[in-house]
Amino acid sequence: MSIFEGAGVAIVTPFRPDGTVNYEKLSQLLDQQIAAGTDAIIICGTTGESSTLSMEEHKECIRFTVEHVAGRVPVIAGTGSNSTETAIELSQDAEKDGADALLIVTPYYNKATQKGLVEHYSLVAQSVSLPIIMYNVPSRTGTNIMPETAVEIAKRNANVVGIKDAVGNISQTAKLAHLIKTEGVALDIYSGNDDEVIPILSLGGKGVISVLSNVMPKETHDMVAEYLHGDRDKAVAIQLDTIPLIGALFCEVNPIPVKTAMNLMGMEVGGLRRPLSEMEPANLQRLEKALKDAGLL
């Protein structure tokens, strides 16, 4: 059984003016997402600035989210790290705190070999009983989980049941989908890029782990739901209509534009943690125009 089908939001971590986590605002964001139909909450992912959260902040964000969501939708905790031991510690704590599943990014900076990736994911998987979604985003980590490696990891570890595909190479995704089918492996594919939701669904994907959903939760949910329910023309129309905004949301490194967009929309999610910085003026103008064109400003 899939962890979820549909649109999961890679939710931002809101901060107060003093830079601390704003849990009151986080609770509001969680409620708004669930009310809009979001199918899963992904906490402490890249969009949540997990790499600049302290260990205690990271754990507390997961604890808080699990408690506040209270079973309304699955909570998937981002517990990856460039250190296998740290990933194990975060994963075990998330399991104790009631997370429904884990999102484990490939080790960044270290640039593990394919053999190292198999060992890394296997050690984390064997340390918990929760289902795991691998997160493949080479543009940020410098490491690509090759299709054969992803299938090998899933074969070795029954609780590795999904992969967030943010490779940006539909040919690689197609090869992965082919291997999953021919090898008979239970491994769900989720789009990790908002501009590739429909292409990945067409290859058998189960949904998206979305940045766009932070500002357009209903539309992101509906795009996947319409496709899965058979109205592919409507789903494609939503995908195409959102392309300009998606482009603006990724014109600078995520989550700079999406947090800026949320603040422009009056959602008051606070600033960014260094080394992330404010948007360049030209990119800010592009973002503002895209938001206006989408009817969000």
Q: What does each of the 297 residues of the chain score in pLDDT, given as a tens digit?
A: 799 999 999 999 999 999 999 999 999 999 999 999 999 999 999 999 999 999 999 999 999 999 999 999 999 999 999 999 999 999 999 999 999 999 999 999 998 999 999 999 999 999 999 999 999 999 999 999 999 999 999 999 999 999 999 999 999 999 999 999 999 999 999 999 999 999 999 999 999 999 999 999 999 999 999 999 999 999 999 999 999 999 999 999 999 999 999 999 999 999 999 999 999 999 999 999 999 999 999
The active-site residue out of 25, 59, 164, 206 is: 164
- In this prediction the pTM is 0.97
Q: Determine the pLDDT at residue 69.
A: 98
Retrieve residue 270's tokens. 């606070």
State how many domains the chain has. Answer: 1
* Catalytic-role residue among 135, 206, 227, 259: 135
Give backbone dihedrals phi and psi of 43, rounded to 5 degrees, phi first.
Answer: -105, 140
Task: Answer yes or no: 164 catalytic.
Answer: yes
Burial class for 292, CB neighbours closer than 10 Å (0-12, 13-18, 19+): exposed
The predicted pLDDT at position 122 comes to 98
Q: Residue 12 falls within a domain, yes or no?
A: yes
Contact call for residues 261 and 251 (beta carbons, < 8 A): no
| 246: in domain | no
- CB 294, CB 216: distance < 8 Å: yes
CA 182 remoteness from chain centre: 27
Residue 11 lies in a domain: yes
Nearest C-alpha neighbor of 148 from the set 116, 125, 175: 175
Amino acid at 42: I
The answer to whether residue 222 sits within a structural domain is yes
Domain span including residue 72:
6-228
Residue 247 within a domain: no
pLDDT of residue 164: 98
Q: If DSSP states are collapsed to H, E and C, what string results for the chain? A: CCCCCEEEEECCCCECCCCCECHHHHHHHHHHHHHCCCCEEEECCCCCCHHHCCHHHHHHHHHHHHHHHCCCCCEEEECCCCCHHHHHHHHHHHHHCCCCEEEEECCCCCCCCHHHHHHHHHHHHHCCCCCEEEEECHHHHCCCCCHHHHHHHHHHCCCEEEEEECCCCHHHHHHHHHHHHHHCCCCEEEECCHHHHHHHHHCCCCEEEECHHHCCHHHHHHHHHHHHCCCHHHHHHHHHHCHHHHHHHCCCCCCHHHHHHHHHCCCCCCCCCCCCCCCCHHHHHHHHHHHHHCCCC
For residue 281, being part of any structural domain is answered with: no
- Whether 96 is a known active-site residue: answer no
| Residue 165 maps to a domain | yes
Q: Cβ(182)–Cβ(188) under 8 Å?
A: no
CATH of residue 145: 3.20.20.70
Query: Does 287 map to a domain?
Result: no
Per-residue pLDDT, 1: 79
